[in-house]
Amino acid sequence: MEDKIGQLKAHFKNTYFKIFEDSGLYFWIASGSVRDFLAGEKPKDIDFFFPTPEKRDEASEFLISKGLKKIQNKFKWELGGEHEKFQGDNIVYDIGVWAGASDPPCLAETPQECIEWFCYTAEMVAIDSDLEFYSYPSAVEDIYQKKLVRNPIHRIEDLYPKYNVERLLKYLKSGYTIDDKNLLRWAEDQQNTFEHKEKFYKKIYQINKESHGVYNHLKPHFDIFKSLDLYFWISGGALLSFFTEQKANDVDIYFPTKKMADQAVGLLKKDGFKTKHSWENNRVLEKDNLIYDIIHEFNNPNQIFDCYDYTICMAYLDCKGKWKCHDKYFEHINSRKIIRNKEYMTNRPKITKLYTINEIKRLLKILDKGFSIDSENLKIFLEDSRDIILSEYEFIEKIKDSN
């Protein structure tokens, strides 16, 4: 066994690792290609994993600098983060991170953490760029004996049951065997997956059906502004509160222009609403505990998908009854996940002045609704907050210099 692992290290170093030898990047190859080599077969798919999305992006830029052609842009595995592919000399480099969706989250920044999320012990093997070998204790023996043992560490809900039936059959046709205990465990995992997906899709169906429900729920707010005969939409917290069955603090009403927003403010004032706050691009008015935030930040509602800070806020319902939301909107609401828009700081309307304390308060408000944020998205939030603080500091320095 030691001889075979030694051969593995030599082969992978000279064949697959060479391209990255002067990159300074840490990475590992795991699962199928390592298993195939140990089984005496030619590795087919070479999956390179990096500790973070940022390191994966560095690897992508490095391969481009080496003249490799990108043959597949970033694609997302439901249980494996984002990946992209490059064509080398007779080698396809599949580079990615292992950071996907499951309960608990299957986040992996090391080879050991990564292999603990594979379906079978025969897949729970890896070798890193320092030529360290990682495996589940029985993995190598199970590969030699062609024995399928279901992951003993985590219960794996395979999100694609059809694919996993085909995968099991492929193993069996190649000579692997599985005993009754592990076959039962596999079947239970599939059942859990079907039940999870059935509940999830029923909820999606119900919510989509209730796009009329949310319109009926918000109809009194649409009716208030109907007499203006202007285009507007509702977005943000009022929609999120409806789908989480919580009371909304206020209702954000968006108009394409300031002139249109001014008309809305005038209408509310005639109806007895008083101004609570007034800023350059939005005004908050209140009457009898009903609060409207009249906003003129975007020319059309589709801009929110680039410019909002979190995916759970990326939805709108307009005065014509049109509903649109982020692809993962209901999924992230259902799982109570806070996913930060990485391009928020770049894409947001520059008319809006950001303050770090307000960003922190906003995050805490969402957390109070029962949502959670993982380390990757918290890091993005903190980096954005740092940039806001730096911009405030630069602004203060400019004022000092002008004085």
Identify the residue whose tokens are 């070998």: 133
Structure confidence by residue, pLDDT tens digits, 39-63: 999 887 789 999 988 899 999 999 9
Average pLDDT over residues 355-359: 75
Q: For 85-134, how does the pLDDT look when each residue is reduced to its tens digit (9 = 90+)?
A: 898 888 888 998 887 545 455 678 899 999 988 889 999 999 999 999 99
Nearest to 146 by CA among 126, 174, 118, 119: 174
Both structure tokens of 143: 């590969």
The answer to whether residue 80 scores a pLDDT higher than 60 is no
395 band by pLDDT with thresholds 50, 70 and 90 = very low
Which residues contact residue 127 at a Cβ distance below 8 angstroms, ignoring those fewer than 6 apart?
8, 9, 12, 28, 29, 30, 34, 111, 133, 134
Domains of the chain: 2-151 (3.30.460.10), 210-402 (3.30.460.10)
Query: What is the C-alpha separation between 24 and 177, in angstroms, rounded?
Result: 41
> In the predicted model, what is the mean pLDDT of the chain?
83
Q: Which of 379, 329, 384, 327 is nearest to 99 (CA)?
A: 379
User: What is the average pLDDT across 336-357?
Assistant: 75
